[in-house]
Amino acid sequence: MPERLAETLVDLWTPLIILWITLPTCVYMAPMNQAYALTTGSPLELSRQSEELRILNRSKRGWVWNQMFVLEEFSGPEPILVGRLHTDLDPGSKKIKYILSGDGAGTIFQINDITGDIHAIKRLDREEKAEYTLTAQAVDWETNKPLEPPSEFIIKVQDINDNAPEFLNGPYHATVPEMSILGTSVTNVTATDADDPVYGNSAKLVYSILEGQPYFSIEPETAIIKTALPNMDREAKEEYLVVIQAKDMGGHSGGLSGTTTLTVTLTDVNDNPPKFAQIPEDVVLGTAIGRVKANDQDIGENAQSSYDIIDGDGTALFEITSDAQAQDGVIRLRKPLDFETKKSYTLKVEAANIHIDPRFSGRGPFKDTATVKIVVEDADEPPVFSSPTYLLEVHENAALNSVIGQVTARDPDSTSSPIRFSIDRHTDLERQFNINADDGKITLATPLDRELSVWHNITIIATEIRNHSQISRVPVAIKVLDVNDNAPEFAAEYEAFLCENGKPGQVIQTVSAMDKDDPKNGHYFLYSLLPEMVNNPNFTIKKNEDNSLSILAKHNGFNRQKQELYLLPIVISDSGNPPLSSTSTLTIRVCGCSNDGVVQSCNVEAYVLPIGLSMGALIAILACIILLLVIVVLFVTLRRHKNEPLIIKDDEDVRENIIRYDDEGGGEEDTEAFDIATLQNPDGINGFLPRKDIKPDLQFMPRQGLAPVPNGVDVDEFINVRLHEADNDPTAPPYDSIQIYGYEGRGSVAGSLSSLESTTSDSDQNFDYLSDWGPRFKRLGELYSVGESDKET
């Protein structure tokens, strides 16, 4: 889209630049009867001298540009400026008004009556209307009298590439004789483009074929379709579908395109001689390939005949059966046919009456013979490999891309199509092999390891190049041959035990070796000690006939307290070419044994144990000690929890929280939270109310009540006095909530938890009901019960 817009803008402004260059010439060539100028953006005016005006006795006309251009399909945020009208009579005093009339004036084009600017207020489409003829006139602003005669000009809609080519007559049909020579004209097609053909490349079309190669070609400019292959055979394929594309902008990138289809039918020519019916060589066994019938003038059972093949070169391949209903013989195929081996067969068929009347036997034999010629027709057969299976061998150290082997195949048909080879990758998922598509040579793609996989089975596919539907498959087995690339090693992790009371020459351990390789003559290992340990004073080795090795002790008197462990490195070599070797270390542990040589203990710590105390007994004793320690710890822990005091710390005491949050409150409608009469009659209350939630530390005398207050005393003043008294009294509670929070309010389901207004003492309270409220309240009840019991004591 950006490329097409850029090309459109270049095509648009090129003629405008040329016009601007040639503008001075146009000024002098302008007619003299014009009184104003038309410009394309900035005011341009050419006025003559006032003396010339007086001499001519009329206003001197400015130059005239009688064409304006506007870009089609422009849809910017504001109206597009088309041009500007200006007359020489306009001194800039705004006394002249411009009037526009004609095609689209007021609906498509608007003029600023002061400046003369013409704007397009609608999106234009050149394909709907290519140009507009308008008339402009300058009049007096106040009187609307014309100052000059009207002038006519044209606004042309500048084209952009907004229309794709179309094939108005498509889809197309055409015929061409079969076996035509190369370049034979078939037909031509035509596409149209609604864009401007004389402006830019918006309507310059280039034709091409999207589908239909390699049979047909097309001329890019004329759209003439021709044959691209000679001798196309109608008997092979009669109809072809060709997809044709037309692209504007000269076929360049960014152009619009349209497509159509052309159906080409090959007409027949006499290019085949007449032939009798032939039998395809790939016909299925048992299929009826033809019928023969002997005419008999009799009727019914007297006309029934039996058919037999009595001679010919195809007696082994064909058989004939009698059809009692149709009274004829049906020839069927017994064995497969091969056109390349034999193209025709001749059979001699005999028809004989089944029911013969002895009275008329003298009239000659009631049978007849006929010769049947069977012609075999060639069929397209798949390729045939030279072998039904292939066996290839490769050494595991073979270099990459080296040739492992080759498969060959041929087309059995007389046309002998070339063959293309490939590997069925479902049988070679790791892509270890490649094959040359032309000659069938199989190469190595990744390294092979016989120790991981000895056999690789892949499938090779042979495909006819001329007919990809004709394919054949053959299995290929690849055997990986061994090379000596693995050193021998111990067959297992051996650990030998040497008795302290052993004898010199005693066999300590017998070891064997293994090798991942598989030599043809089997394994043969050589054992030896390291050169620096050939004269080992403690041990020696002996090779056995079964390819194993025995380790022997050179002396007795081994003591595990002096040395408990011996390490004996042994070098193992194979018989490969070149031979490979590795060093394996045998661990020999000195142990205490019975007189019979049975190992009893191999630990040095066994010597420090008391006589008669075995290792198992020691472990049992340690377990009992640990168990006793665990029991003691648990007992101490439980004892500590049991003796913990019931009085909890101050920060864990929940009693104060109950006092702070026991207000159920009745809200603003609660008028019984306190008695207003009590506030108005201070004599009716006791001036001292001790706290019951804590025990006071000192004894104090009750405060004297205030003097009687007459009725109608100011409640606010009374409360302030009592508040001041409470603040200065060190024995008073730290809050004045006795009267305010003593009442829980109406509507409380739980009831009051406070004892502030209770008429009984704490000793009369029973806190057993708190146990029904849950574990936390049960604990609270226990705390209060403990407090009461303390008071009683």
Closest CA to 143 of 96, 105, 106: 96
Supply the pLDDT for residue 574: 85
> Under a CB-based contact definition with an 8 Å cutoff, are residues 463 and 385 in contact?
no
Backbone angles phi, psi at 493, to 5 degrees: -85, 105
Sheet of strand 539-543: strand arrangement: 489-490, 507-514, 548-553, 539-543
- Residue 165 contacts residue 248 (beta carbons within 8 Å): yes
Looking at the DSSP bridge assignments, the partners of residue 403 are: 443
Beta strands in 465-558 (DSSP E): 471-481, 489-490, 495-499, 507-514, 526-529, 539-543, 548-553
SS3 625: helix
For residue 357, what are its two tokens?
């009347």
What does the alpha-carbon distance between residue 138 and residue 99 come to, in Å, rounded to a whole number? 6
Distance CA 331, CA 573 (A): 76
**Those residues with Cβ within 8 angstroms of residue 554's Cβ, 6 or more apart along the chain or in another chain:** 504, 505, 536, 537, 538, 539, 540
Give residue-wise pLDDT tens across range 136-147.
888 888 787 888
| In contact, 245 and 205? CB cutoff 8 Å | no
Single-letter residue type at 215: Y
Tokens describing residue 313:
């070169």
**CB of 305 closer than 8 Å to CB of 294:** yes
Rounded Cα gap, residues 572 and 526, in angstroms: 6
Length of the chain: 793
Q: Is 274 helix (H, G, I), strand (E, B) or coil?
A: coil
**Distance from the first to the final alpha carbon of the chain:** 104
Q: How far is CA 557 from CA 509, 535, 567, 591, 592, in A?
A: 18, 19, 18, 12, 12
Tell me the Ramachandran region of residue 425: left when phi exceeds 0, alpha when psi lies from -120 to 50, beta otherwise: alpha
Give the other-Cβ count within 10 Å of 196's Cβ.
21
CA geometry: angle 47, 49, 51, nearest 5 deg: 145
CA-CA distance, 74 to 87, in Å (whole number)?
A: 29
Buried b (16+ CB within 10 A) or exposed e, 654-682: eeeeebeebbbebeeeeeebeeeeebbeb
For CA atoms 750, 754, 757, 761, the dihedral sign is positive
Chain Cα centroid distance, residue 375 = 58
Question: What pLDDT is recorded for position 471?
Answer: 92
Of 428, 293, 448, 450, which Cα lies nearest the Cα of 372?
Answer: 293
Residue 2's SS3 state is helix
List, run by run, the mean pLDDT of 10-residue segments along the chain (793 residues): 43 40 32 34 31 39 58 72 74 74 80 80 76 82 81 79 84 93 92 79 86 90 92 91 90 86 93 77 84 84 86 88 85 86 88 83 81 85 92 91 93 85 93 93 92 92 90 94 86 86 85 84 83 84 87 85 87 85 88 82 58 70 92 88 58 48 52 52 50 47 48 71 77 54 51 51 64 76 64 48
Residue in the block written with tokens 């998922």: 429
CB 563 within 8 A of CB 590: yes
Residues 378, 416: Cα–Cα separation, whole Å: 12
Closest CA to 339 of 375, 288, 302: 375
Helix-then-strand count for the chain, H and E: 8, 40
Backbone angles phi, psi at 685, to 5 degrees: -125, 160
Q: Which helix (H) or strand (E) holds 52?
A: helix 50-56
441 close to 401: Cβ distance less than 8 angstroms: no
Residue 63 near residue 45 (C-beta atoms within 8 A)? no
User: Tokens 């620096």 sit at which residue?
Assistant: 532
Q: What is each CA distance from 773 to 432, 743, 749, in whole angstroms?
A: 80, 22, 14
State the Cα–Cα distance between residues 65 and 46, nearest whole angstrom.
Answer: 13
Strands (E), 159-304: 172-177, 185-188, 206-211, 216-218, 224-227, 239-247, 257-267, 279-280, 288-292
| pTM tops 0.85, yes or no | no
Structure tokens at 379: 């069929």
